[in-house]
């Protein structure tokens, strides 16, 4: 029997099932072995109802995942930022193109949102080529938590997708949508 790939599903956090939530925690724990309880705590504390999960399944098993968080940034105007994080493909499926499928789904989701959204992510040096191949642009922008005035990720690379031309070089992420 041939393996089949389901299309990537985009699921708002508020409608994520308990079974899907547990699949995400289990897959995250394959990559970052902090224990299932810690993965659950992390997801519960850092995920808002309107955040989106992209799930990629094969024969009913979760083989890939990423999360999109919407926040606003400001300078002389408000910008909407869709932050991509936790891009994971199960170890037995790496190199199969599933990561690109996840990023394709994320890019499509960002383009489909209103108002105009800029995609943003930060990564280590080893993933630069991957995100470039997915159509994201290496950026000289710094993403800063406005309330702490600190960089999201020190010593990492910022990427953007669909960025507004006037998006400032230092992007102060102010918070969650109201």
Domain count within the chain: 1
CA distance 109 to 32: 26
Residue 36, domain extent:
9-175
CB count within 10 Å of CB 32 equals: 12
Residue 28 placed within a domain: yes
Report strand pairing: 78-89 vs 61-74: antiparallel
Who wins on pLDDT, 115 or 109? Answer: 109
Express each pLDDT in 54-86 by its tens digit: 999 988 899 999 999 988 877 777 888 899 999
How confident is the model over 150-163, as a mean pLDDT?
73
Residue 162 placed within a domain: yes
For residue 119, pLDDT beyond 90? yes
157-to-16, 123, 146 alpha-carbon distances in Å: 30, 5, 19
Residue 1 placed within a domain: no
How confident is the model over 105-126, as a mean pLDDT?
89
pLDDT at residue number 55: 97
Residue 81 placed within a domain: yes
Report strand pairing: 157-161 vs 117-123: antiparallel
Query: Between 36-46 and 18-31, two packed helices, what is the crossing angle to 10 degrees?
Result: 120
pLDDT at residue number 38: 95
**What DSSP string runs through 106-147?**
HHHHHHHSSS-EEEEEEE-GGGHHHHHHTT-EEE--EEEETT
Express each pLDDT in 3-54 by its tens digit: 555 678 999 999 999 999 999 999 999 989 999 999 999 999 889 898 999 9
Residue 2 placed within a domain: no
Express each pLDDT in 123-146 by its tens digit: 989 999 999 999 999 988 777 665
Count of residues for the chain?
178
Residue 101 placed within a domain: yes
Residue 4 placed within a domain: no
Residue 25 placed within a domain: yes
CATH number at 110 reads 3.40.630.30
CA distance 109 to 69: 12
């Amino acid at each position: 029997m041939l393996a089949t790939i389901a299309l990537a599903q985009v699921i708002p956090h508020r409608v994520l099932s308990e079974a899907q939530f547990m699949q995400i925690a289990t897959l995250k724990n394959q990559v970052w072995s902090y224990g299932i309880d810690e993965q659950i705590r992390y997801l519960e504390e850092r995920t808002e109802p309107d955040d989106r999960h992209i799930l990629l399944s094969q024969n009913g098993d979760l083989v890939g995942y990423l999360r999109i968080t919407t926040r606003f940034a400001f300078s002389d105007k408000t910008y909407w930022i869709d932050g991509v994080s936790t891009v994971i493909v199960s170890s037995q499926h790496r190199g199969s193109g599933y990561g690109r499928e996840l990023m394709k789904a994320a890019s499509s989701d960002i383009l489909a949102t209103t108002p105009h959204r800029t995609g943003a992510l930060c990564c280590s040096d080893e993933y630069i080529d991957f995100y470039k191949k997915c159509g994201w642009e290496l950026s000289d922008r710094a993403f800063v938590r406005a309330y702490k005035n600190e960089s999201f990720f020190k010593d990492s690379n910022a990427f953007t997708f669909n960025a507004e031309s006037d998006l400032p070089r230092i992007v102060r992420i102010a918070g969650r949508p109201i």
